[in-house]
Structure 1
C-alpha cells in the first residue's frame, strides 16, 4: 500500500469530511488525492482497456501503482470545461457522463481498490424500500412502512396504525417567496390536516411509517468491520420526531453506548445485503430498550458525532479503512488522529480560508453538507 493512493471523490470544496480525512491520511505519510469528478484536472488521466486475452483493466497516468482505495463520497459529474465553446458543453457533459458510467458499472473489474462504497451498491442503497427489504433479510426489526401517493391507501394505513410519521424521501430546504423564511422537511407525526386534500397527497409521494414510541435514538457509524454506536438524546419537538432538529438547535446530547446482544451481527448482515462497507444507521430505541431500524445513510456524516463523543475514534477508523484498503483494517496500525486535532491544525485553518468566501449565509451552515 505504500505507493498506492487513497482517492476521495467529493464534488464539494467545502466538504469538511473530505478535508479532515485528507489531513488524517497525510499524518500517516500517505499522499491521498481529492477530486471533484473523474474529469478533475488534478486527477491523472484514466484509461480503460478491454481485449479478449486480458479482459477489462484500467491504467492511471503518472500515479505509481495506482489507487488503493476509493471513497465514493459525494461526487458530481463535470459541468464546466475550460476553453470549450458554449455550444460544445452539452456534448462534453454527455460524453463524460457516459465515460463515468462505464467506470462505475465495472468498478470491481477495473481495479482491486476498496470502494467505499461501490457506485452501483451506493446508488441502490439510497432507496428506502431497498434498505427495509435488506433489513428484513438481516433480521432487523423495523416499523411498518408505506410509500405511496394514493390518498385511500395513506388514510387506511394511518387508520390502522393510528400514530404515523411522515418522512420525505430526501430532506429538502427551500425559502418562502413572501416571507423569506427558510423551511426544511423533517420527520413529523401525521395530523388530520395533512390528509384531507386528495390532490396534495397525490401530487407528492411520501414515506409513512408507524411511530416508534422512542426513548432515545442511536446512530451507528459502520466503517468496515468496526461499529461506533452513539446515543442521541433530544428534547421533544412537538409533532416532530427527528433528532436532527435538536442537533441544529444545539439541544442534542451524545455519548457512546452499547448495542444489544446479536444486534451488531444483524447490522453487519445488513451491510452485506446492501453490498456496502460504510454507512450511518439510525435506530429508534423504545421504552423497553429495544432498537428499531429506521434507515442507513451510505454517505452519512460522522464528524459531528466524534465532536460530541471524543472517545469514539471515528475519523481515525475512516483513515485506517482507506489507508489499508480493506474492511478488516486495524485502527491501531495508524497513529492517533482525531477531529479535535484536525480542527486545531494549521491545515484546517488554511482549508477554511480557502472555502469560506464561497459559502453563502451567516448561520454557519455549510450548503450541501447536512448534519446527518
Structure 2
C-alpha cells in the first residue's frame, strides 16, 4: 500500500461501531488508525499553538502534519475527568481544556494539507437546521416551508395556512418515564389539533414545524467526499410512519438502490460546499411525481445501517479510502474490498462488542430511539 499518514478518528464513544469498523477496514489494508476520545488523550502526546509576529500561526505536537493525516471529527468530547487533580480544581481544568481545544478547532483551516471530516467550525455551524435550509435555498434545492418558533400564534397560523404539518425537535431525544418505565423518543410526527391547544406548552419549548411532503419514499444520500451513494428507504409496514428512524429502531426498515438525478446531485454538492462539509448523510423526501425535497443533512450521521440493508453500497470502503488518502477525490482501489458484513463477522468486531456491551448493559437496544451507534 502507498505510504499514507496515520488517520485519526476522534470519537469519545466506546460503542461507536463506525469508528471500530473504519479502523478495522484501514488495518485490512495495512494502515493503522488512531482512535481517541479527544485531542487531549495522552497517547496523542501534548499539543502547542504558536503565534509568531513574523511567521504567523503554527501548531506542534499531537497534530503533527508529518504523522497525522485525515482527521475524522466524529463525536469527540472535551476531557472531563482529571485523576491527579483536587476535586475543587476540576471545573477550572475543564474550562481551560475547553477553551484551549476551542482555539485549536477554530484554527483548523490553517492546516490546508489535512482533510478534516468535517472541519470543526463547519461541523458546528452545520448542526443548525435553519443554516442548512438557508444554504439549500442558495443552492436551488426544493424544500418544505419551515417555521422554527415557540410563539403559539405563529405556530397556529402556520398550521392553518399549510394544513398538514410535521413537528420536529431540533435534536432527537430519548428518555424513560419515571412511573411506567416506558421509553419515549421525539421523532417527527404530524401536528394534531390537540397539540396546539395549550399556549404554555408551546411557549415552553421551541420546535421546528415543517409542511408535510406526501412522499413515495425517503431517499438517504450518503455523501463521502466526491461520491454520492443513494438508497431508497421504505417502512416494512404500510402504516404511514412519518419518520423512518422509528422503524429502524425496531427492525422495520428496508432499502433498495436509489436514483439521484445529475441536477439534484449537483445541487447537493453545492450545498456541501456551501456548508464546508466533505461528509454528510442527507435526507430527501421523494414525492409522488418523483421530485426530491431536501429535509436535512447530518454531518456526523450514521451510514453503516444503510450498507447493512443494502450491501451493494460500499460505504465503509469509501469512508476508509477517504481517511487513508486524506482527500475527497479518493479511489476505492486504495482500500482492500472490505465490507460492513465482513467486519461484523471479524474477530475485531467480536472483541469490540465484548468491550462496548459493558457500556450498554443498562440500556435496552431495542427501545425506540436508542442506537448502538
Establish whether TM, by shorter chain, passes 0.5: yes
What's the offset of the Cα at 1:41? 1.8
Determine whether 1:120 maps to 2:121: yes
Look up the match of 1:108.
109
Report 1:48-127 matches (<5 A).
48-60=49-61, 65-110=66-111, 112-127=113-128
Give the Cα–Cα distance (whole angstroms) in 1 for the partners of residues 79 and 114 of structure 2.
23
Task: Name the SS of the counterpart of 1:231 in structure 2.
Answer: strand
Task: Name the SS of the counterpart of 1:147 in structure 2.
Answer: strand
Structure 1: tracts of 5 or more residues without a match: none
Determine whether 1:226 maps to 2:224: no
Look up the match of 1:175.
176
Alpha-carbon distance change, 220 to 3 in structure 1, aligned in 2, over 3 angstroms: closer
Which range is displaced more, 197-206 or 106-115?
A: 106-115
Cα deviation per residue 1:253-302 (whole Å; 9 max; x = unaligned)? 10111112311101100000101100000011111111100000000000
Give the Cα–Cα distance (whole angstroms) in 1 for the partners of residues 229 and 285 of structure 2.
16
Which range is displaced more, 98-107 or 64-73?
A: 64-73
Give the Cα–Cα distance (whole angstroms) in 2 for the partners of residues 61 and 332 of structure 1.
29
Which range is displaced more, 309-318 or 104-113?
A: 104-113
Look up the match of 1:211.
212
What's the offset of the Cα at 1:73? 0.1
Is residue 321–residue 327 contact of structure 1 (8 Å, CA) maintained in 2? yes
Give the Cα–Cα distance (whole angstroms) in 1 for the partners of residues 193 and 52 of structure 2.
62
Greater relative contact order (Cα 8 A, min sep 6): structure 1 or 2?
Answer: 2
Determine whether 1:283 maps to 2:284: yes
Determine whether 1:29 maps to 2:51: no
Cα deviation per residue 1:29-74 (whole Å; 9 max; x = unaligned)? 1121110011112212222212123211112269681211110001
What's the offset of the Cα at 1:365? 5.5
Alpha-carbon distance change, 365 to 44 in structure 1, aligned in 2, over 3 angstroms: farther
Look up the match of 1:305.
306
Alpha-carbon distance change, 64 to 278 in structure 1, aligned in 2, over 3 angstroms: closer
Look up the match of 2:14.
13
What's the offset of the Cα at 1:243? 0.5
What's the offset of the Cα at 1:91? 1.1
Pairs aligned (count): 371
Structure 2: tracts of 5 or more residues without a match: none
Give the Cα–Cα distance (whole angstroms) in 1 for the partners of residues 172 and 304 of structure 2.
19
Is residue 7–residue 69 contact of structure 1 (8 Å, CA) maintained in 2? yes
Which range is displaced more, 144-153 or 63-72?
A: 63-72
Which range is displaced more, 327-336 or 132-141?
A: 327-336
Is residue 365–residue 372 contact of structure 2 (8 Å, CA) maintained in 1? no
Q: TM-score, normalised by structure 1?
A: 0.95
Cα deviation per residue 1:302-352 (whole Å; 9 max; x = unaligned)? 000001100000000000111000111111222111111111111111111
Give the Cα–Cα distance (whole angstroms) in 1 for the partners of residues 44 and 146 of structure 2.
43
Task: Name the SS of the counterpart of 2:364 in structure 1.
Answer: coil
Determine whether 1:193 maps to 2:194: yes
Is residue 214–residue 288 contact of structure 2 (8 Å, CA) maintained in 1? yes
Give the Cα–Cα distance (whole angstroms) in 2 for the partners of residues 217 and 102 of structure 1.
39
Determine whether 1:142 maps to 2:143: yes
Task: Name the SS of the counterpart of 1:80 in structure 2.
Answer: coil
